[in-house]
Amino acid sequence: MRFRESFRSSFKSLFHNKLRSFLTMLGIIIGIFSVIMLTSIGEGIKNQVTSQVESLGANLLYVFPGKIQMGPQTGESKLGVQQAGFGQTNNTLTYEDVLNLKGQEGISAVSCIYNGVDRLDDLNISASTTGADEDLIKVSGLDLRYGRFITKDERVNKEQVAVIGDQANKELFTAGNPVGKTFKVNGKDYKVVGVLEYKENQNMGPQSEDMNVKIYFPVTEMIDRKDQKNISQILVKAVSAEAVEGVEKTVNDIMKKNHTDDEFTVMKQQDMLNAINNILGILTAGLGGIAAISLLVGGIGIMNIMLVSVTERTREIGVRKAIGASRRDILIQFLIEAVFMSIIGGLLGLAAGIGGAQLLPSVLPSIQTAVSLTAVIIAMVFALLVGVFFGVYPASKAARLDPIEALRSE
C-alpha cells in the first residue's frame, strides 16, 4: 500500500511540473535517440556490406600482396583518384601468378585487379583506372549494359580498348551507347568496347569504391604503359562452395613456388566477411558508446533537478514523516520520480530514434539503417540504470532529513 502511495505521489509531482519534468528528461531523450540512430546506421552499413560480399558467392577467394590490414576506404565519389580500402605492402604479385593459377583443378576462373591513375585528356582530370583480363567479369559480379568486356585477344595483344562504368560514361559521352567511340588517356586514343550497368557503391571489400566511375583497360597494356608489373590483387573463383577449401590449398601451394609466406595472403569469402564484420562491430560499438555519453549528461540533469525538488519539498517531507512515513517510504518516493523521468524519457527517445532510423534512408538514400533489438534493450536498460544511479543520492538526502528541522523549513 505504501509503495502504491509513493508511486501516486511521484507521478503527481512530475505531472504538476510538466515543463520542468520534460526539460529534465530531454537529456535522456537525446541520449537514447543518439544511441538508436548511430547504432542503426552502423548495423545498416554492416548489413549492406555483408550483402555485397555475399552476392559475389561463397566460392570466391582473394590473393592480396603481403600481410595486409583491412579498413574502410576513403576517396572521391566521382572520377577523381580514390584510395583502396586495403593496405598493400611488400607487393610482389604479378600477372604471371594469375596465369599460373588459370586452369588448375577446382578453379573455374581467375582474374586480377591492377589499380592505377591515368590522365583523362577530354575531362582534364586524373582518374582511377584498373587493369583487368577477360575473366574479371566472371568473378567480380559486374554486369554489362552495352557492348562486351575485354577479350583474351585484346589482353594478349595489349590493345588500347576500355570498358567504362555508368558514371564514367555520363561524364565522357553524356550517357547513351558509346561503344565504338574513343577518348584520350595520356594523349592516346582508347576505343570503348563496353559499358557497365549502374552498381550501388560498396563501402568495404575487395572493390571498396564507386564502381560506376571505374575505367578498365587490358591488364597487359596497362602494365606496359606504366612500366610497373606488380598487380593489386588476384581473384579466384572455385567451381563450387564445396571446392573452396581444396582450391585454397592449391592457390597457396602454387603461390609458394614463387613467393614467401609473408609476400601474399589468401582469403576466402567467409574470412573477408568475418574480418569486415569485426571492423564494423567495433565501429558500431564505438558510435553507441559516444552516444551513451549524452545519457550520462541526462542523468546528471535528473540528479540536479531532484536535488532542487528535495529542497523545495522539505516541508512536505517533514509532514509525511510526522504522520508516520519512514525513511524507506521517502527514499522510494524520490527514487521512483527519478526512474520515472528516465524511463519516460527513454521511451520518447526510443520512439524518436526508431522513427529517425526509418526516415533517414528516404532523406539520404546512400545511408542504410537497421534498428538492432540488442541496441534497443541495452539503451533502455542503461536509461533505467541512469535513473537509479543518479536518483539515489537525492532520494537518500530526502530520506535523511530530520522531521523537526524539515517542518521548520519555509
How does pLDDT run across 85-130, given as a tens digit for each residue?
444 456 889 999 999 999 999 999 999 999 999 999 988 888 889 9
127 part of a folded domain: yes
Task: State the Cα–Cα distance between residues 162 and 127, nearest whole angstrom.
Answer: 13
Same structural domain, 37 and 122:
no
Task: State the Cα–Cα distance between residues 286 and 291, nearest whole angstrom.
Answer: 9
Question: What one-letter code names the amino acid at 410?
Answer: E
Same structural domain, 209 and 293:
no
205 part of a folded domain: yes
Q: How confident is the model at residue 371 (pLDDT cuts 50, 70, 90)?
A: confident
Q: How confident is the model at residue 206 (pLDDT cuts 50, 70, 90)?
A: very low
In the predicted structure, residue 404 carries a pLDDT above the cut 60: yes
Same structural domain, 398 and 288:
yes
pLDDT recorded at residue 209? 61
In the predicted structure, residue 49 carries a pLDDT above the cut 80: no
What's the pTM value of the predicted model, to 2 decimals?
0.58
Give the closest residue to 240 by CA, choosing from 101, 61, 106: 106
Task: Please report, rounded to a whole number, the percentage of residues in the chain having pLDDT higher than 70.
Answer: 84
Same structural domain, 34 and 80:
no
Task: State the Cα–Cα distance between residues 410 and 408, nearest whole angstrom.
Answer: 6
Lowest mean pLDDT, pick from 54-58, 101-105, 266-270, 286-290: 54-58
Indicate the burial class of 296 (C-beta count within 10 angstroms; 0-12, 13-18, 19 or more): middle
Same structural domain, 131 and 173:
yes
Task: State the Cα–Cα distance between residues 62 and 238, nearest whole angstrom.
Answer: 11
Lowest mean pLDDT, pick from 47-61, 184-198, 240-254: 47-61
Same structural domain, 30 and 78:
no
Task: State the Cα–Cα distance between residues 357 and 368, nearest whole angstrom.
Answer: 9
Task: State the Cα–Cα distance between residues 185 and 384, nearest whole angstrom.
Answer: 62
In the predicted structure, residue 82 carries a pLDDT above the cut 70: no
In the predicted structure, residue 193 carries a pLDDT above the cut 80: yes
Same structural domain, 38 and 80:
no
Is 235 within 8 Å of 57 (Cβ atoms)?
Answer: no
- What's the domain count of the chain? 2
Range of the domain at 197: 74-84+115-232
Average pLDDT, rounded, for the chain: 81
Give the closest residue to 196 by CA, choosing from 135, 146, 133: 146
pLDDT recorded at residue 352? 92
Same structural domain, 10 and 78:
no
R_g (Cα) of the chain, nearest Å: 31
